[in-house]
Amino acid sequence: MTLSLTINKKLKKIVQNICIIMIIFLGVLDIGLSMPHSLKLFRAIGTYYNRFSYSELVIHRSLSIMIGFILIILSNRLYKRMRFAWIITIASLFISITLIILRSRSIINPLIIAELFIITVLVISFKDFSKKSDKISVKMALLVSAVSIVLVILNTAITLFLSKGNFLDIYAFEDALEKSIRLLFLMDISAITAKSPLGHIYLDSAIFVNWACIILSLILILKPLVYNPIINKIDKEHARKIVDEYGQNPMSYLALEEDKIYFFGNKIDGVIAYTVVGDVAACCGDIICAEENAKQMIKEFVAFCERNDLSVVMINVTERFIDQYKGAGFGYVKYGEDAYFKLEDYSLAGGRTAKVRAAINHANKAGITVSEYKPSQKRDKKIEEEIHKVSQEWISMKKGGELSFMLGGVGLENPMDKRYFIAKDANDHILGFVVFTPFESRQGYLADVTRRHPKSPQGVMEKIIYDAFMIMKDEGVKWGSLGMVAFANIGQEEETGLLNKVFLFIYENLNSVYGFKGLHHAKEKYNPTEWRPRYLAYYPEIFNLKIAYAIIKSQYPKGITDYLFSMIKQRNEKVLQ
């Protein structure tokens, strides 16, 4: 039964992809048939066009070109199964059918049959085209606009050259290209002189198409600057309310970072923050919703991912929803441990925190003080400039680059509920800072971003973290967290499968690439109240290389190879020193 469903699913996808190829062909055909020279090359079509009045022919030709470009440009988005592309493509195909009927004065036409077939396939499989649109960056918008403009220029130039008998002063393709550029960018009608009715029809419709291209390009370029921020703000505020109420995982607040896509519950109030790597939805932490709604939230998200042919990996999840993940068909494995501090009982007494005490004493003797900077109450340009300077110097010191997705940013441009603790020397210069993010309805705070000046004295970070914990303790905050250490205490699991053994090998043998053990020791010296296990949950329940790649790639978007080479280079430089 499962095999039959798999075959049917693959067959359906093949048919859909054939339709997408047909759509590209139809787009090219729409553009080609709208060219004036087609009246000479295809006499039957020429006869159809002769039935149009002058104004009808201008409108018909202009719409045909626009529909052709839309079908070609949207085909890539349609291949990615995006809903907006599905909607616009179907609308464009109906317009195309209308244009064919007007041109041929008949509903029996091979092109109409082909387009009705495509529409039928798309409508039947509409559930498969449910993926949300990618966030268009300014860079991507400029690229798409540039490609569109180049296509319009080439279409105009080729048409002018092929129908040069209808125009004056066009002898070579270079002449046609120069005049098409002047027509597009300068709207210089005088650059081209028509010597036939056909030439006049072409010029009038070309001006319409060119203006439409420019306006659509401007809309596309402005979308990331105007439309996206408005929609993002609405979604983020909605997500923020859900995170504030249900965000039990210290990672939950990272849902509000800019690199996240949101999946909101359909029947319940919940959100999942994710990104797409290849055909894997990599999720930041747990689902965020009421515990009684967890089963429904997981069900909705899995259904969404299955419709879009996406596997799922949920990175750094807690024990709270493990049973619900298992019940939904997820596999899971211990991924590491998170250092938790029960603040009401926490102190630096005892031998286990001796190193932290010594570091803080050194910082105190150096005249270092810690205070909380509250940008939501009062902004201080000098402090923020120094914070950014320390941050940049810290990033440049880390030659492996800056990780993301499972780590937050400084976020001073929109601090929201973040808390900033800064360390200053006797000269009032900032030496380091820690950004804390809330969880458990502000009953807990995670030390998310920790950065210091490369030349800062010993004890700066220890003093910031301890003083911040003590301030929060006085406020009645229950928990502090220093975050997860990947692969920590993996070998203590009773059931050690192959994946668990791989993680243990990485922890024991690849510290030269990433300092897993060093990070563990750095957090362990604070003597956490407890280490809480963290897991990877993945669907389907068989872990594979594409999921492993998605975990790494989501956290280092610049590229895994680049990251590994930079880390190895950094290690070699330390050895040489």
The conformation of residue 526, written as its DSSP 8-state character, comes to T
Cα separations in angstroms, 233 against 230, 236, 238, 258, 567: 5, 5, 9, 10, 36
Query: The tokens 């249900």 sit on which residue?
Result: 246
Q: How do the residues of the chain divide into helix, strand and coil, expressed in percent and rounded to 5?
A: 60, 15, 25
CATH topology for 337-576?
Aminopeptidase (3.40.630)
| Residue (of 280, 261, 259) closest to 271 by Cα position | 261
Contact 335, 534 (CB under 8 A): yes
H helix runs in 366-451, sequence order: 381-397
For the chain, which residues make up each domain, given as ranges?
2-225, 337-576
Token pair for 417: 């509920």
Token pair for 88: 């616009």
Helices (H) and strands (E) in the chain, counts: 19, 12
pTM: 0.69
The predicted pLDDT at position 41 comes to 47
The predicted pLDDT at position 316 comes to 92
The predicted pLDDT at position 491 comes to 64
Residue segments in the chain with a per-residue pLDDT below the cut of 50? 1-3, 5, 37-44, 46, 54, 572-577
DSSP-derived 3-state class of residue 90: helix
The predicted pLDDT at position 95 comes to 86
CA dihedral for 267, 271, 277, 281, sign (positive or negative): negative
CA dihedral for 550, 552, 554, 557, sign (positive or negative): negative
Whole-number Å distance between alpha carbons of 239 and 250: 15
- The pLDDT tens digits of the residues spanning 78-113 come to 888 888 889 889 988 998 888 888 777 777 888 889
Token pair for 205: 């419709």
One-letter amino acid for residue 512 of the chain: S
